[in-house]
Amino acid sequence: MTRIRVAVASLNQTPLDWSGNQQRIQQAIDAARGQGASVLCLPELCISGYGCEDAFGAAGVAATALEVLGQIVPATGGMVVAVGLPLLSDHGLLNAACVAVDGQIAGFTAKQVLAGEGLHYEPRWFRPWPAGVRGTVEVGGKSYPLGDLAFHCGGVWIGLEICEDAWAAQRPAAGPILRGVDLILNPSASHFAFGKLEVRKRLVVESSRAFAVSYVYANLMGNEAGRVIYDGGGLIASAGRLLAQGPRFSYEPVRVTTAVVDVAETRMMRARNRTMDPPAAERDRLAVSHEFVWPDLEPEVAVQRPDGWESSDWIKEEEFLRAVALGLFDYLRKSRSQGFVVSLSGGADSSAVACLAAMMVELAAAELGVERFAAALGNLDHLATAGAHRDRVAALLHCVYQATRNSSTATRQSAVGLAEALGAKMTCLDIDPIVGDYHKMIENAIGRPLDWTTDDLALQNIQARARAPSVWLFANLGRALLLSTSNRSEAAVGYATMDGDTCGGLSPIAGVDKAFLRRWLAWLETRGPSGLHPIPALATVNSLAPTAELRPAGAHQTDEDDLMPYPVLDAIERAAIRDKLMPLDVFRLVRRQFPDYTAEQLHAWVDRFFRLWCRNQWKRERYAPSFHLDDENLDPKTWCRFPILSGGFERELAALAEYVAKATAR
């Protein structure tokens, strides 16, 4: 035996969905066996779900995970399977992986480097396992080895790194326990972010080269728990070559990818490498041996390639569409909602949300087939009778345009035209009488008329808030999910009406900035995603200047006049929030980036950003849940914490003003 068929599984799991999670794990084992695999790596914490949050603190969660494990292990006959679960031991609660060999538990390894940055909080729930330590854990009345282990199965050495372990400087694969192993399995839960796949691929391929091993990397798939989207894309590499990459953003609950690796090749590679130490005594001391019979395999030269869209020149645009569409699909079915409602204004943000929802229907139905698509969403009555694609979109997407006297014909035509092109159900309402009634009621209460010169903000906000009850009512009537349409640029400066345009149960585009959204809509209008089609009806949307249309038409209100040019806003936000620069440093940076603007203008915009950022943290705390799409997220619950009450950078802004005054006086 020199060649082994290994498999990696991507699973769409749900926290605490014990029966569903077990069923998908069993399906992956059966699929891997059916493809002739002898080794299967499953994702991190896949028995319980990765996103259990503080439920990990309940003793019953770890206990139930062990019960489910006991039902899974007998199904691993003839295979070596690594499956992730929370494990309670004398050391504390562990993020662990069980290695089952031929229907029996061989032992457990535990994560040594816990993810504690950004949206990860593993140190809140788990204890890290110390390197080089072996212990035991009792399962079902039997004692099993636990710790920093290497598994010797039928003459093949197998080691494990669990997700973050592989990203750390002091990683297990570099230590004496895993030095000289033939296979490294990595059960992972690596969330999607723009461009992150290439980082993962470099990590896996370089690990296989540097350690002269075959490296098998599993990942979750889909919107597991609400905010975080996993893109799948399991990876198999050997001796510095990528052998296989699994599909990404799949609507299938289970995807298994296999490849044949050659143990003799990697052993010879280690033998030729004089700088690589031979297998250490420390590895042998912490070895777990288990009998196993490996089948004979012929060489395999075919490499499994990723989907064609991944070679697109518009990869960020493609990833955005496919990540958010999958996130919407899973959120819809896991929340047991009956469809989506979008307050479609005719502008860029709401149009993007409507397009994402409609294209989700197309992508999911194309991959699953119409019957399985309907079954995945619960065989909704109004969906089951939908014969054509447009009927399915109409069954799931209801767009609502709500006009006041300040709304223009252009935005109404834009909204109606897009809804028609998408196939969505469209309703147009005139809410001006409702706004007028509010005016009269408040004017009677305060004893004076409301006027734009003195009450500008209040008069704008009441229009936005008057739209909320109608769309909520439509959502309630249809048992649908109301989608909020705020973007990240607006969230940064609070350019939104709370309980108005922010109302909704999910905010799918709050993780991306306005400048990118406008580029994405232009791409979607003229090019569209690979294998699908563009949406020419977006031409009207893209021709309009972004505007809230809350002031009288004569005011010619635009978002950028109210705030600043969106490219400048986004540059300031990244420098101030992502890079943690103080106002003066931000000003110096944007002066170099935007030389066409005066120092006074840039100073005013930097000052405005910092003041609005501090003033509006309370709004960001109240936004509907949003999808995590990159590592520049402003969501205070998962990524970017900031005090609701603060000193507001007054000292730093005063220093900036003094600097600009001196600079412009020269």
Q: Does residue 383 sit within a domain?
A: yes
Q: Does residue 653 sit within a domain?
A: yes
Q: Does residue 461 sit within a domain?
A: no
SS3 content of the chain, % helix, strand, coil (to 5): 45, 20, 35
Higher pLDDT, 386 or 198: 198
> What CATH code is carried by the domain that includes residue 115?
3.60.110.10
Token pair 């399985």 is found at 372
Strands (E), 12-133: 39-41, 80-89, 92-101, 104-110
Q: What is the helix (H) or strand (E) element at residue 238, kind and residue range?
A: strand 235-238
> What CATH code is carried by the domain that includes residue 509?
3.40.50.620
Per-residue pLDDT band for 274 (boundaries 50, 70, 90) equals low
For 403, the token pair is 């006009």
Nearest by Cα to 187 from 84, 75, 259: 84
Using the 3D structure, point to which of 492, 509, 542 is the last residue of a domain. Answer: 542
**Do 274 and 85 meet the contact criterion of CB atoms below 8 Å apart?**
no
Higher pLDDT, 118 or 574: 574
Token pair 């003799």 is found at 264
Predicted confidence (pLDDT) at residue 304 exceeds the cutoff of 70 = no
pLDDT (average), residues 211-222: 97
Tell me which of 183-187, 476-480, 556-560 is least confident: 556-560
21-33 b/e (C-beta count within 10 Å ≥ 16 → b): bbebbebbbebbb
> What CATH code is carried by the domain that includes residue 587?
1.10.10.1140
Instruction: Quote the pLDDT of residue 119.
Output: 86
Please indicate, yes or no, whether residues 187 and 225 belong to a single structural domain of this protein: yes
Per-residue pLDDT band for 556 (boundaries 50, 70, 90) equals low
Residue pLDDT, tens place only, 55-96? 999 999 999 999 999 999 999 999 999 999 999 999 999 999
Cα separation of 40 and 519, whole Å?
41
Per-residue pLDDT band for 621 (boundaries 50, 70, 90) equals very high
Cα separation of 546 and 556, whole Å?
11
Cα separation of 344 and 495, whole Å?
18
Cα separation of 72 and 75, whole Å?
6
Q: Does residue 307 sit within a domain?
A: no
**Do 242 and 235 meet the contact criterion of CB atoms below 8 Å apart?**
yes
Please indicate, yes or no, whether residues 206 and 330 belong to a single structural domain of this protein: no
Per-residue pLDDT band for 14 (boundaries 50, 70, 90) equals very high
Please indicate, yes or no, whether residues 86 and 184 belong to a single structural domain of this protein: yes
Please indicate, yes or no, whether residues 512 and 642 belong to a single structural domain of this protein: no
Residue pLDDT, tens place only, 98-111? 999 999 999 999 99
213-231 b/e (C-beta count within 10 Å ≥ 16 → b): bbbbbbbbbbbbbbbbbbb
Instruction: Quote the pLDDT of residue 488.
Output: 92
Using the 3D structure, point to which of 518, 542, 566 is the last residue of a domain. Answer: 542
Instruction: Quote the pLDDT of residue 90.
Output: 92
Cα separation of 211 and 597, whole Å?
52
Residue pLDDT, tens place only, 447-476? 999 998 999 889 988 998 999 999 999 999
Predicted confidence (pLDDT) at residue 275 exceeds the cutoff of 90 = no
Count of Cβ atoms closer than 10 Å to residue 103 Cβ: 13
Per-residue pLDDT band for 389 (boundaries 50, 70, 90) equals confident
Please indicate, yes or no, whether residues 250 and 334 belong to a single structural domain of this protein: no
Residue pLDDT, tens place only, 569-613? 999 999 999 999 999 999 999 999 999 999 999 999 999 999 999
Q: What is the β-pairing status of strands 134-139 and 150-153?
A: unpaired
Cα separation of 80 and 100, whole Å?
6
Instruction: Quote the pLDDT of residue 562.
Output: 84
pTM: 0.94
Dihedral angle computed from the Cα positions of residues 332, 333, 337 and 343, in that order, rounded to the nearest 10 degrees? 10
Residue pLDDT, tens place only, 471-523? 999 999 999 999 999 999 999 999 989 998 899 999 999 999 999 999 999 99
Q: Does residue 167 sit within a domain?
A: yes
Please indicate, yes or no, whether residues 280 and 347 belong to a single structural domain of this protein: no
Please indicate, yes or no, whether residues 617 and 664 belong to a single structural domain of this protein: yes
Instruction: Quote the pLDDT of residue 179.
Output: 83
Count of Cβ atoms closer than 10 Å to residue 166 Cβ: 21
Q: In terms of C-beta distances under 8 Å and separation of at least 24 residues, what long-range contacts does 434-443 make, across chains too?
A: 434/466, 435/404, 435/462, 435/463, 435/466, 438/462, 438/466
**Do 201 and 235 meet the contact criterion of CB atoms below 8 Å apart?**
yes
Token pair 């990723």 is found at 306
Nearest by Cα to 162 from 153, 149, 179: 149
Residue 180 phi, psi (nearest 5):
95, 5
463-478 b/e (C-beta count within 10 Å ≥ 16 → b): bbbbbbebbbebbeeb
Give me the percent of the chain exceeding a pLDDT of 70: 95
Using the 3D structure, point to which of 237, 258, 293 is the last residue of a domain. Answer: 293
What value, to the nearest 5°, has the Cα angle with vertex 378 and ends 374 and 381?
70
Using DSSP, state whether 335 is helix, strand or coil: coil
**Do 155 and 1 meet the contact criterion of CB atoms below 8 Å apart?**
yes
Please indicate, yes or no, whether residues 236 and 352 belong to a single structural domain of this protein: no
Q: Does residue 386 sit within a domain?
A: yes
Per-residue pLDDT band for 185 (boundaries 50, 70, 90) equals very high
Per-residue pLDDT band for 176 (boundaries 50, 70, 90) equals confident
Q: Does residue 456 sit within a domain?
A: no
Predicted confidence (pLDDT) at residue 134 exceeds the cutoff of 80 = yes
Predicted confidence (pLDDT) at residue 276 exceeds the cutoff of 80 = no
Instruction: Quote the pLDDT of residue 174.
Output: 87
Q: What is the helix (H) or strand (E) element at residue 362, kind and residue range?
A: helix 348-368
594-619 b/e (C-beta count within 10 Å ≥ 16 → b): beebeeeebbebbbebbeebbebbeb
CA distances from 85 to 22, 383, 414, 631 (A): 12, 36, 50, 26
Q: Does residue 462 sit within a domain?
A: no
Please indicate, yes or no, whether residues 363 and 396 belong to a single structural domain of this protein: yes
pLDDT (average), residues 179-202: 95
Predicted confidence (pLDDT) at residue 553 exceeds the cutoff of 90 = no
Domain that holds residue 326: 314-431+467-542
The burial class, CB within 10 Å (0-12 / 13-18 / 19+), for 449 is exposed
Please indicate, yes or no, whether residues 534 and 574 belong to a single structural domain of this protein: no
Mean per-residue pLDDT over the chain, rounded: 93
If one counts the domains in the chain, the total is 3
Nearest by Cα to 165 from 221, 59, 84: 84
Count of Cβ atoms closer than 10 Å to residue 562 Cβ: 15
Please indicate, yes or no, whether residues 288 and 318 belong to a single structural domain of this protein: no
Please indicate, yes or no, whether residues 61 and 110 belong to a single structural domain of this protein: yes
**Residue 393, amino acid:** V
